[in-house]
Amino acid sequence: MQLAPLFPIFYRILQPSFPNCLWGGNPHTKAIALTFDDGPHPQYTPEVLAVLDRYNITASFFWLGVCVNRSPAIAKAVSDRGHWIGLHGYDHRSFPMLSLNELKGSLEKTQVAIYNACNLQPEQVRDVRPPNGLFTPATLKLFSQWNYRSVMWSVVPEDWVRPGITTVVERIMQQVKNGSLIVLHDGACGGQDVAATIQILIPQLLQQGYEFVTVDTLWQQAKTD
């Protein structure tokens, strides 16, 4: 069963319930964030970078520490281009399943991997997106105590089940609006199609007048909403 039709409903329920998370930017500004989870990947991430380079677009990447350790040169190539870097845990285990120490260790190990690959200090990498979108109020409270920022989503085309490039693009174009936070994947699940997807998607969004910004910019714009 594909969950894609349900994500907009989840969003409408969860967004007002957890206002301290970033669900999107300013609804009055035509700025959107393109984000990629589960990387870096040795093949798919360079393909994504090539498309982003072509259109001179800055995106945001939420990384798994294990993947950073496997592909440090690719991680550095992403960071060197000025893309925003966030945390997705060390190995994609759902955060509510982890003990407090396991969760803290998962995030800190990922920060260390990013520091080793990209020379970004831990305090520069404090945006966290939970794997599978699963969290509890206790999880979010811990993030706040540990000085992390919780980043969620507003447009989830479920690209990881590979419904087809055309379907993914259509789902995004139907849902996108001012301030949208779009989730795609450049990892093992869904990464096969991601470069071809954004090659079609980006020109359509540019044609509609959207500006691509980082998650950090959305945080700043959300504060001025």
Which is more confidently placed, 225 or 208?
A: 208
DSSP state of 22: B
To 10 degrees, what angle do helices 72-80 and 44-55 make? 10
Q: What confidence score (pLDDT) does residue 58 get?
A: 98
DSSP state of 26: -
Residue 225 is a catalytic residue:
no
The answer to whether the pTM exceeds 0.75 is yes
- Domain spans, the chain: 30-223
| Superfamily for domain range 30-223 | Glycoside hydrolase/deacetylase (3.20.20.370)
DSSP result, 110-177: HHHHHHHHH---GGG--EE--GGG---HHHHHHHHHTT-EEB--SB---GGG---HHHHHHHHHHH--
Q: Active site residue: 41, 83, 92, 185, which one?
A: 185
Q: What confidence score (pLDDT) does residue 12 get?
A: 82
Q: Active site residue: 37, 159, 186, 216, which one?
A: 37
How far apart CA 215 and CA 208 sit, in angstroms, is 20
Q: What is the pLDDT of residues 105-153, one digit of tens each?
A: 999 999 999 999 999 999 999 999 999 889 999 999 999 999 999 999 9
Residue 185 is a catalytic residue:
yes
